[in-house]
Amino acid sequence: MGKLHFRALLLVCRPIMPRNRKPVIRRRSEHTISRKDIDEDALRVMQRLNRNGHKAYLVGGGVRDLLLGRNPKDYDVSTDAEPQQIKKLFRNCFLVGRRFRLAHIRFGYHKIIETSTFRRQPDPLADPSDPNACIMSRDDNEYGTPAEDARRRDFTINGLFYDLKDFSIIDHVGGLPDLKKGMIRSIGDPGIRFREDPVRMLRAVRFASRLGFRIEARTRKAILKHYPEIEKAAPARLLEEIYRLFAFHAGEPAFFLLWQTKLMSVLFPEVDAYVNKNGKDQAPIWRFLAALDSGEHWRGDPTPALMFAALLCDPIQKRAEVLGAVADRTAYASLVEDLIAPISQRNRMPKAARYRLIRILVDQQRLDAVLEPTPKGGRRRGGSPSRFVNQESFPEALTLLELRAAAGTADPQVVVRWNELASSVLREARSSERTDAAKDAAAKTRSKPRRRRRRKPRNETPRD
Ligand code: ATP
Ligand code: MG
């Protein structure tokens, strides 16, 4: 067959699954999703679209998580209504996106039900058989059928639909068996799908680590082949995905998988080199990330500074040891700044997070020095502990110290000492607050102006 014909055939055969294959439909009695488990605003959106003659399905992560018995993070709806039609039906609807208009239907301050019109995967203009051709999706704005909408999604487990009309699950892509097997499988040729959108490789890692699933062999092989292309993804999307890797207490397995799939060598080459030199799968960094995942050392979600600190603290420490900069506070601070600069630039880290990250890393030296004896007649290294405790960055710096202790790279006694100091500073502050309040109250009573008694009007006899 001539080369041209072969290429044309490739384009024609590109469909991910036979296009006219009938979807698998699971009736209500054959699956576990109950309407009661679905967010009521998402139900409202689908009901109104249905009542107005439109198809509307719950799609993506919402269906996947409900089938797994998990609480979905957010809900997405796909419909045959076009954006302007959606807008007419919902007063609380805002259209967003330049290339492909999406409807954001808002409920309260925080909830958005993202509602998109069925669309299809555009055929790449370039030849998919040419590994050097650029086939990154730029144009993703063609409306399509429900089946095409399912096939344009990233992984089979993310391509399932839930139909509120008859409570059935519709599977166009083989997501149900993969969900059962615990498998992350690309919809279509993973090599092409990852070249179209390299962020999908990070998403594969995220879902595998968050759900404890395996990445299917072909999909994994494609990541190992195309990992350098992750560099082509927009930095803002990458940073967002990196933050999401830490969510759901799955940072350690996620970064371990990033290392195994070589994505780490592009995203964090410094960390990758450190892991390879410092024990590989036994490197202390895995203990740092596991301690962060355990959630024992912080309340709420870890901040961006803490996430990056858990990732970079030990690599920086090892570098400082090599360069002999551990004992010298100024040398250590400038080393931290130098090492963070390319990482924060590459990841477009917001300035505030970068400053905070540098601060809590540099503060570790000061924290470590607390058990050192104060030199006779001299000043303690790092200044007064009580002033330090009152600094805004102290809680995060202390959390990082706790992570270091859990990872075995800091003395647990140092953590104990700082917690004692922090409590005593807090106690002092409370008691001086109480004393101040008492003084204020006393001062107020003393200086209270005496109220003049109004004299009773005398019963004077009116004069004539
Ligand atoms: P999460 O629970 O983290 O929100 P999710 O699967 O819902 O996971 P979203 O980013 O909310 O992920 O996206 C919703 C759905 O949109 C996905 O389930 C998937 O079907 C589709 N999707 C998102 N990003 C892509 C992408 N890069 N390529 C193809 N499909 C995508
Ligand atoms: Mg989602």
Q: Give the span between the Cα atoms of 405 and 413, in whole angstroms.
A: 9
Atom nearest to 153 CA in ligand 1? 30
Which ligand lies nearest to the CA atom of residue 121 in the structure?
1
The whole-chain average pLDDT of the chain stands at 88
How many angstroms does the Cα of residue 291 sit away from the middle of ligand 1? 28
Atom nearest to 62 CA in ligand 1? 7
Percent of the chain with pLDDT over 90: 73
Q: Are 289 and 311 in contact (CB under 8 A)?
A: yes
154, 155, 179, 219: which to mutate for ligand 1, most atoms within 8 A of CB?
154
Give every residue of the chain whose pLDDT is below 50, as ranges.
1-16, 125-128, 460-464
Q: Which residues contact 90 (CB under 8 A, 6 or more apart)?
A: 45, 48, 103, 105
Closest by alpha carbon to 62, among 162, 132, 198, 154? 162
Q: Are 348 and 393 in contact (CB under 8 A)?
A: no
Give bridge partners of residue 168 from the DSSP assignment.
Answer: 163
How many angstroms does the Cα of residue 60 sit away from the middle of ligand 1? 6
C-beta 148 within 6 A of ligand 1: no
C-beta 368 within 6 A of ligand 1: no
Q: Are 136 and 200 in contact (CB under 8 A)?
A: no
Take atom 15 of ligand 1 and give the residue whose Cα is closest.
Answer: 60
At residue 387, the pLDDT reads: 87
C-beta 74 within 6 A of ligand 1: yes
pLDDT in tens, 177-232: 999 999 999 999 999 999 999 999 999 999 999 999 999 999 999 999 999 999 99
Which ligand lies nearest to the CA atom of residue 63 in the structure?
1
Take atom 22 of ligand 1 and give the residue whose Cα is closest.
Answer: 153
How many angstroms does the Cα of residue 114 sit away from the middle of ligand 1? 11
Question: E strand or H helix at 74, and its extent?
Answer: none
Q: Are 155 and 174 in contact (CB under 8 A)?
A: no
Closest by alpha carbon to 310, among 277, 271, 261, 272? 271
Percent of the chain with pLDDT over 70: 84
Atom nearest to 74 CA in ligand 1? 4
C-beta 200 within 6 A of ligand 1: yes
Question: E strand or H helix at 457, and its extent?
Answer: none
Domains and CATH numbers, the chain: 15-181 (3.30.460.10), 196-267 (1.10.110), 270-370+388-434 (1.10.3090.10)
Q: Are 120 and 148 in contact (CB under 8 A)?
A: yes
Q: How far is CA 391 from CA 93, 346, 354, 355, 399, in A?
A: 43, 29, 17, 14, 14
- What is the β-pairing status of strands 160-163 and 168-171? antiparallel
C-beta 158 within 6 A of ligand 1: yes
At residue 463, the pLDDT reads: 46
Q: What is the pTM of this model?
A: 0.86
C-beta 68 within 6 A of ligand 1: no
**Residues 223, 66, 210, 356, CA torsion sign:** positive
76, 151, 193, 237: which to mutate for ligand 1, most atoms within 8 A of CB?
76
How many angstroms does the Cα of residue 351 sit away from the middle of ligand 2? 28
How many angstroms does the Cα of residue 262 sit away from the middle of ligand 2? 26
C-beta 293 within 6 A of ligand 1: no
How many angstroms does the Cα of residue 158 sit away from the middle of ligand 1? 7
Take atom 5 of ligand 1 and give the residue whose Cα is closest.
Answer: 61
Closest by alpha carbon to 101, among 112, 121, 85, 125? 85
Catalytic residue ranges: 74, 76, 154
How many angstroms does the Cα of residue 427 sit away from the middle of ligand 1? 48
